[in-house]
Amino acid sequence: MSFRSSILCSALVALSFTQAAIAGGNAVMAPLHNVGASDQQAMNVSSLIASEMSFWPEFDGFDELDTGPTNASCLSSSSCLAGLASGGDVLVTGTIGSTGTQFELDLVFFDASRRTTIRRQSFTLSSRPEAVADGMNAVIRELITGVNPDAAADDEPAVADFGAIDDGEDFAFAFEEEDPADVRRAADARRAAEADRAAETRRAEEARRAEEARRAEEARRAEEARRAEEARRAEEARRAAETRRAEEARRTQAAAVPDVAEFDASSISFASSADQITAEDIDSAIQFAPPAAADEMDLDDFDPNRFDTPSRTDTASLSGTRGGVPDIVDLDAPDEPTGRQRTSRDRTRTERPQSTRTARTQRTERPSNNGDSLQQNAVQISARAGYSTYYDLGFITYGGEVSVPVGRAPVSVILGAEAYSVRRDLPPELAVIAGTTTEWNTMFPFNAGLLYKANAGGSVEPYFGADVIGAQYYVDSATNSGSWAIGGRARAGVNLMVASAFGFNINGSVGGWSGNRWAVIGPGIKEKGVLPQISGGTVFSF
């Protein structure tokens, strides 16, 4: 046998032993560690290596791992590689770098059962996708078998070289079977086609999952938009209901206010005797014309017996002159012309001594605070606008308040309703739905309390007092339940009356309130806090 034949036989025997060593068992592929390429390039090359190994017929099974080496030094450590194998019999992994036009691969073929590196080899491939796909089969074949397919094909002896044997023995080699190179190329083509089909299947699956994710996201956004629209409509309905209730309360309050501008008939007493009628009572009911000149009458001539209370049938006698006494008009009868004006003499004769009208005069005296009795007990309606704060929320306030006196005391009951409007920043999830980062929100507080007016009825009317305040500031769209803030305030202000029925108002208050869901309105807003307010406007007296 010739020397060349011996070498060929030795190579075939070695190849058979090598393949026998790697035949059987389960192979695993760990992703390549990136030392210079992009993450996408490292992932693509790792997937291509795994695809090539999955078609390797000598392995009983193949698995692609999720975790690869964390550094290049792991390729030199048996313990690190054995840990990556994760139960596989053999492991393929390595590192990938890039020079821009080429990939630098440092691959390891590791026997995990024996904790021995079978082969570690470096490869250089063009970074063009088609070059990587075409050359990866040769790379994996050389890494596993240790034989470069291209070099083996070049070194393979021609058929004529097997025609003679140096020892004189002739051997005839029949090549009736297919050429191994053709078989290898066919197998490579089949594997490439299967890899393409697998890649197409994988891309189709990824596209399907992406489409399902897109549809799910669209459905989620549509549901969020629907919920936001329902919440907006519920808020509008609540505000409309609040406005309607406030309007009904205002109308009810206006209907309950007495018309104090009407004439108070109780200020005149119609008794059964003329002794109980005073000059002040008559002056308040009768308008006298300018008195004509007349002689003064001595009070000694006054005869009170002349004013006996007549019956209704004698009413006509009060319109004439009786025994020289001036005519007196019956207040219950219609006005009739008397033909003459009352004179100062007439008025003088009807006056009573001071001692007989002291009590009645004291009741009709005007107050000493420069305000009359009507304005001192007037109902007042104030319309104001102002500003209030609660933590980071700055409210623009506007509304009205009615003040009803308690009898003739300088104490009034107050009842008011206002609107508190604030422009607040929306949370990110609501801002995406609403299409804006800020939004105007309004709540409608009500208040009730008592005020003491230090100069009731005067042109300058200071006051102070206290009230309670409450408002619904949050409505849960899911349960349609509301959250309320309740508190109290100290009040002080002044009415500057420019006329008997009109003036200007300056008002201030400070207090606090509490609510258990303020945190959902904005960050940093606590359940309890101080609630100051300053406002001003107009006031009307009735």
Tell me, yes or no, whether 287 lies in a domain.
yes
Nearest of 175, 169, 184 to residue 5 by alpha carbon: 169
**CATH number of the domain that 382 lies in?**
2.40.160.20
Determine the pLDDT at residue 295. 47
Q: Out of 313, 339, 364, pick the residue that ends a domain.
A: 364
pLDDT band at 36 (very low <50, low <70, confident <90, very high): confident
Asked whether 487 and 469 are in contact (CB, 8 A), the reply is: yes
The mean pLDDT value for 334-344 works out to 48
Euclidean distance between CA atoms 187 and 131, whole angstroms: 18
Range of the domain at 481: 377-541
* Domain shared by 38 and 76, yes or no: yes
- Residue 415's pLDDT band (boundaries 50, 70, 90)? very high
For the stretch 358-405, pLDDT in tens is: 444 444 444 444 444 446 678 999 999 999 999 999 999 999 999 999
Number of domains in the chain: 3
Q: Specify whether 274 is located in the same domain as 390.
A: no
Is-contact 522 424, C-beta < 8 A?
yes
Q: What is the mean pLDDT of residues 162-183?
A: 46
Residue 453 forms part of a structural domain: yes
pLDDT > 90? residue 31: yes
Q: The dihedral of CA 77, 80, 84, 89: what is its sign?
A: positive
Residue 167 sits in a domain whose CATH number is: 3.40.50.10070
pLDDT in tens, 42-63: 999 999 999 888 888 878 888 9
- Claim to verify: residue 434 and residue 314 sit in the same structural domain: no
Check whether residue 36 and residue 128 sit in a common domain: yes
Residue 236 is assigned to a structural domain of this protein: no
pLDDT, residue 27, reads 92
- 25 and 62 inside one domain: yes
The pLDDT of residue 480 is 83
Is 281 inside a domain boundary?
A: yes
Position 369 in a domain: no
The answer to the question of residue 189 being in a domain is no
Both tokens of residue 461?
Answer: 């009317």
pLDDT band at 528 (very low <50, low <70, confident <90, very high): very high
Against a cut of 0.75, is the pTM above it? no
* Greater pLDDT, 175 or 379: 379
What band does 525 get if pLDDT is binned at 50, 70 and 90?
very high
pLDDT beyond 80 at 331: no
Average pLDDT for residues 282-290, to the nearest whole number? Answer: 51
Q: Does 431 share its domain with 500?
A: yes
380-390 vs 411-425, strand pairing mode? unpaired
Q: Residue 215 burial by CB count (10 A; 0-12/13-18/19+): exposed, middle or buried?
A: exposed
- Tell me the pLDDT tens digit for each residue of 451-497: 999 988 889 999 999 999 999 998 887 788 889 999 999 999 999 99
> Which has more confidence, 501 or 182?
501
Which distant-in-sequence residues (6+ apart) come within 8 Å of 346 by Cβ? 294, 326
- Looking at the fold, whether 512 and 399 belong to one and the same domain comes out as yes
Residues 537 and 413 in one domain: yes
Model pLDDT, residue 457: 82
pLDDT of residue 184: 72
**Of 452, 448, 441, 446, nearest in space to 405 by CA:** 452
How many Å apart are CA 200 and CA 23, to the nearest integer? 30
pLDDT of residue 376: 67
Question: Are 28 and 90 part of one and the same domain?
Answer: yes
Q: What phi and psi values does residue 290 have, to the nearest 5 degrees? A: -55, 125
Tell me the three state secondary structure of residue 75: helix
176, 193, 212 - which closes a domain: 176
**Domain limit, last residue, from 160, 176, 192:** 176
Return the higher-pLDDT residue of 168 and 469. 469
Claim to verify: residue 359 and residue 416 sit in the same structural domain: no
How deeply is 433 buried, as exposed, middle or buried, from its count of CB atoms within 10 A (0-12, 13-18, 19+)? middle
> Is residue 1 predicted with pLDDT exceeding 60?
no
pLDDT of 346 over the 60 cut = no
Comparing C-alpha atoms, which of 228, 231, 230 is closest to residue 435? 228
For residue 523, the model assigns a pLDDT of 81
What is d(CA 310, CA 307) in angstroms, rounded to the nearest whole number? 8
Kindly report, residue by residue over 86-131, the tens digit of the pLDDT. Answer: 888 999 999 999 988 999 999 999 999 899 999 999 999 998 888 8
Residue 283 Cα to chain centre, angstroms: 68
User: Does some domain include residue 194?
Assistant: no
Residue 40, token pair as written in the block: 């996408």
Q: Would you say residue 3 has pLDDT above 90?
A: no
523 within a domain of the structure (yes/no): yes
29 shares its domain with 128: yes
Lowest mean pLDDT among 108-117, 215-224, 312-321, 430-439: 312-321
Contact of 371 with 458, CB cutoff 8 Å: yes
Instruction: Tell me which H or E stretch contains 395.
Output: strand 393-405
Q: What is the mean pLDDT of residues 327-337?
A: 49
Q: Which long-range contacts (CB under 8 A, 24 or more apart) does 399-404 make?
A: 400/250, 401/447, 402/253, 402/254, 402/257, 403/379, 403/451, 404/257, 404/379
In this structure, of 81-90, 118-127, 324-333, 512-521, the range with the lowest mean pLDDT score is 324-333
Query: Are residue 158 and residue 91 in the same domain, yes or no?
Result: yes
Show the 3-state SS of 288-347: CCCCCCCCCCCHHHCCHHHHCCCCHHHHHHHHCCECCECCCCCCCCCCCCCCCCCCHHHH
The pLDDT-based confidence of 287 (bands split at 50, 70, 90) is: low
